[in-house]
A and B are shown apart, each in its own frame.
Chain A
Amino acid sequence: MSERILMCGNEALAEAAIIAGCDAYFGYPITPQNEITAYMSKRMPEEGRVFVQSESELAAINMVFGASATGKRTMTSSSSPGISLMQEGISYLAGAELPSVIVNVMRGGPGLGNIAPSQGDYFQATRGGGHGDYRTIALGPSTVQELVDCMPLAFDLADQYRIPVVVLADGILGQMMEPIVFNKKPRRSLPPKDWALTGAKGREQNIVRSLWLPEGSLEKHNYKLQAKYQQVQKNEVLCEQYEVDDAEIIVIAYGVAARIVRSAVKKARQEGIKAGWIRPITLWPFPTMQIAKAADELSIFLVVEMSMGQMVEDVKLAVAGKVPVVFYGRAGGGVPSVDQVLEKIKQLTIPVKKQ
């Protein structure tokens, strides 16, 4: 498939996962991502691959755990409350160093919240989410095309680093239709899965576990995980920058919020305001260096999120107090408008010009 076609985000990411070689999909119904499950239920059997509608999210993530242990590419998808239920399994996947892809089509929270789009799960996705010292790679695409492109990347990253990868979409991205092309980019050269449970004939047995009881062994295991996370931070940061060089103000946003910011920044430029944007594509690893570098040159950052302020903490850590970081966000299904963001940009730049 290389022609341009129109698809909704949920179905497009499902097809992209199939093209990326997803062998097994497990999921439980929840809005606004039911199209993924429905699409997979048709396409996976056509491809001779596994589809299961599980009895709960706990079953789904543990099926992912099992399938991953056999060395197969596997994924699940859900929306915020369902992803919370999966956190125990994700922590075990991280501890056992198993690759997996988890798609979160975020909705409003906390609790059951609503079914409107939100970016309220940033902390959960970038801090690990479950118990223990671990990280998951978190990707935050902002268009359906980018969502499609990040599925093969997610599977590759998962296999390369033996790590769970979270794809953070939201209700808008999942439901909206956009023209897309399924690119068949060359895959990364990946290490052999010599850890997989494939039968121990003629070799030592493989053991999948996250339990390390002998004194000092868990600490050692944690150092090993941290060394891996440092490699991810060194090698895998992705972000987009626009008109950063001469900017007085840089607006930082990811996902759907970044689309709004893009329009607002372009309007601001038309009105003579030297605005630019930085858009993190990997949310963890976070583009800390890029933001830190920009902080040396300009006067102020504005962070826009569909949450009450989560990524803004990472921006502040990167800026390290060099210049002010201002936050603007909406929550619980509220979506910032282009005019609201433009207004914020104006408020923040006019006093700066007077000085």
Chain B
Amino acid sequence: MDTEISNMADIDIAWCPGCGNFPILKILKQALTELTIEPTNLVMVSGIGQAAKISHYLKANVFNGLHGRALPAATAIKAANPALTVIAESGDGDMYGEGGNHFLHTIRRNPDITNIVHNNMVYGLTKGQASPTSQIGFKTPVQVAGVFLEPFNPLAVAIALNASFVARAFSGDAEQTKEIIKQAVKHKGYALVDIFQPCVSFNKLNTFEWFKKNSYYLNDSHDPSNRNEAFKKATENGPFPLGIFYINQDNNSFEENIGIYQENQKPLYERDLDIGKLKSLIETFIVAK
């Protein structure tokens, strides 16, 4: 499908040739086009890193904020205007390292947003330090003897927190990744899509070939409503399963829980001042003479 609607004219994309971010950008644009999400109605929220630049490379409302802090901003944007499609998209260092605490609490809060994480297992923007998802033994100019920390497992953490949608994809498979992103965006509630992505410049261990060889798709018999089975799959340490691990439809979204949209669907910014309400509020502070 023609992704014209999402294309930006004359942009200078500052990613290395061959970077796994290029296919993700293309796939995302295709998914959004097929879901007929208008750029006017889309907010791309990102933090800092190579992946976080993606918000600048497609037509959308853009909120490029602080390192690690995309999720709180995305939560607030969605709460202020639930009519918007909100995608928080950054890399593994941004979402799982600097923003790790926000990752945990956004899952608990369950805003109806999509959280796409480009997981290349390395810090690309700062030129090749180990990231939270780097594999044990991975050598870098900083981890000279190799990484010895247990890699962060975002899927297992999300399932443990009873996240509402948990999936993993691979940038090398456009068709399946597009379908997963579409499902995630359509899903009501917080949706995590962790995307394996090769960094051609700074990660010579987890290459395109490596990801291809070390991943497989969950088969059709996998039941995404089975949390225990999903958790078990998420803890597999290679080859790594791809696909939709877990869907939990039981919980209300954050926007539903905060109560302000139950009777009035209007986004906050469209609402008029309720003079009567304000008056009665002020009166509670007036001391009787």
Chain A interface residues (CB < 8 Å from chain B): 28-31, 34, 37-38, 41-42, 45, 53, 55-57, 81, 112
Contacts and interface: CB of A to CB of B under 8 A. Distances in A.
A53 B130 contact: yes
A41 B130 contact: no
B267 interface: no
A30 B129 CA distance: 10
B142 A37 contact: yes
Nearest to A42: B144
A142 B104 CA distance: 44
A53 B132 contact: no
Interface of B: 48, 64, 66-68, 93, 97-98, 100, 123, 125-127, 129-130, 132, 141-145
Contact of B100 (A38, A45, A55): A55
Nearest to B132: A55
Contact of B97 (A34, A41, A55, A81): A55
Contact of B123 (A29, A41, A81, A112): A29
A161 B188 CA distance: 57
Nearest to A81: B67
A45 B144 CA distance: 10
A237 B145 CA distance: 43
A116 B129 CA distance: 21
15 contacts: A29-B142, A30-B126, A31-B126, A34-B126, A34-B127, A37-B129, A37-B142, A38-B141, A41-B141, A41-B142, A53-B130, A56-B98, A56-B100, A112-B64, A112-B66
Contacts of A45: 145
**Main secondary structure on B side of the interface with A:** loop
A29 B129 contact: yes
A29 B92 CA distance: 14
A70 to B, nearest CB: 23
B126 A41 contact: no
A-B pairs, top 7 by smallest CB distance, nearest first, are A29-B126, A41-B142, A38-B141, A56-B98, A29-B129, A55-B97, A29-B123
Contact of A38 (B66, B98, B142): B142
Contact of B142 (A53, A55, A81): A53
Nearest to A56: B98
Given A29-B129, A34-B127, A37-B142, A55 B98 contact: yes
Most chain A CB within a 10 A radius of its CB, from B98, B132, B144: B98
Contact of B143 (A34, A53, A56, A81): A53
Most chain B CB within a 10 A radius of its CB, from A28, A55, A56, A57: A55
Nearest to A58: B98
A33 to B, nearest CB: 10
Nearest to B93: A29
A56 B97 contact: yes
B165 to A, nearest CB: 25
Contacts of A31: 125-127
Contacts of A56: 68, 97-98, 100
B58 to A, nearest CB: 20
Given A55-B132, A56-B68, 17 more contacts: A28-B98, A29-B129, A29-B142, A31-B127, A34-B126, A41-B143, A42-B144, A45-B145, A53-B130, A55-B97, A55-B98, A55-B100, A56-B98, A57-B98, A81-B66, A81-B67, A112-B67
A307 to B, nearest CB: 22
A112 B97 CA distance: 18
B153 to A, nearest CB: 15
A112 to B, nearest CB: 6
Contacts of B67: 81, 112
B46 to A, nearest CB: 11
A111 B214 CA distance: 39
A30 B48 CA distance: 11
B129 A34 contact: yes
Contacts of A34: 126-127, 129
A112 B94 CA distance: 14
B70 to A, nearest CB: 13
B163 to A, nearest CB: 21
Nearest to A111: B66
Contacts of B144: 41-42
A57 B93 CA distance: 13
Contacts of B132: 55
Contacts of B97: 55-56
Nearest to A84: B66
A51 to B, nearest CB: 9
Nearest to B98: A56
Contacts of A55: 97-98, 100, 132
A148 B129 CA distance: 25
A31 B67 CA distance: 13
A52 to B, nearest CB: 10
Contacts of B127: 31, 34
Contact of B129 (A42, A53, A57, A81): A53
A112 B48 CA distance: 9
A172 B224 CA distance: 53
Contacts of B64: 112
Contacts of A28: 98
Contacts of B68: 56
B91 to A, nearest CB: 12
Contacts of B143: 41, 53
A55 B102 CA distance: 13
A30 B123 CA distance: 10
A130 B73 CA distance: 23
Nearest to A57: B98
A55 B97 CA distance: 5
Contacts of A38: 141-142
A308 to B, nearest CB: 22
